[in-house]
Amino acid sequence: MRNKAMLIGAVRAGKSTLTNALLGREVEAFKTQTLSYYDWIVDTPGEYTENPMFYKNIMATALEVTHVLYLQDATSEKLIFPPGFSMGIPKLPIGVITKCDLSEANIDRSLGMLKTVMNVGPIVMISSKTGMGIKHIKELTKLNDIPAMRHYVESEADKHLIFHG
């Protein structure tokens, strides 16, 4: 199976904007209403994560992908994922802190939040607008196991990329 990534996170966390950045598309992001499939990416509506009634949709879609990107908006004080959420989805996790370029971003808070969601895995601090971290996400989604992801993070020596766990 070709590696595919599913993006999950709150409404307005930056899933569609990140999808466009990963695909090199210069189009305005719009509110995702249903699952959207683009090449190697599945963009999900924020409601799928914000409402536990829709978790079954996340679980079903996870069967189609190799990686799950857990997005946390650096400007939001709200964490929508329950503790240990990534352990219920048997796919390679990648934590993504979005909107890191904004003045109101609180990266430390967001990092702490994602560490409660993921027990192990890389966390990338990004800006879809400036391109910061986009390369790391592309490279991480090409890898097929946690040790390879850890090796990638350690070899990059980038302060916007850490390995948790």
Q: Where are the domains of the chain?
A: 5-164
How many CB atoms are closer than 10 A to CB 119? Answer: 14
The model carries a pTM of: 0.93
Name residues whose C-beta falls within 8 Å of residue 56's C-beta, 6 or more positions apart in sequence. none
Sign of CA pseudo-dihedral 47, 51, 55, 57: negative
In this predicted structure, the answer to whether residue 118 has a pLDDT above a threshold of 90 is yes
State residue 24 phi and psi, 5-degree precision.
Answer: 70, 25
Name residues whose C-beta falls within 8 Å of residue 57's C-beta, 6 or more positions apart in sequence. 35, 44, 48
Nearest of 79, 99, 92, 85 to residue 29 by alpha carbon: 99
Nearest of 125, 138, 59 to residue 91 by alpha carbon: 59
| In the chain, % of residues over pLDDT 70 | 95
**30: Cα separation from own chain's centroid:** 18
| Mean pLDDT on 119-145 | 95
Architecture, CATH, for domain 5-164? 3-Layer(aba) Sandwich (3.40)
pLDDT band of 27, cuts 50, 70, 90: low
Q: Which two tokens stand for residue 19?
A: 């999808």
Strand partners, 73: 98
CA distance 127 to 57: 27
Q: Which pLDDT does position 50 carry in this prediction? A: 86
In this predicted structure, the answer to whether residue 32 has a pLDDT above a threshold of 80 is no
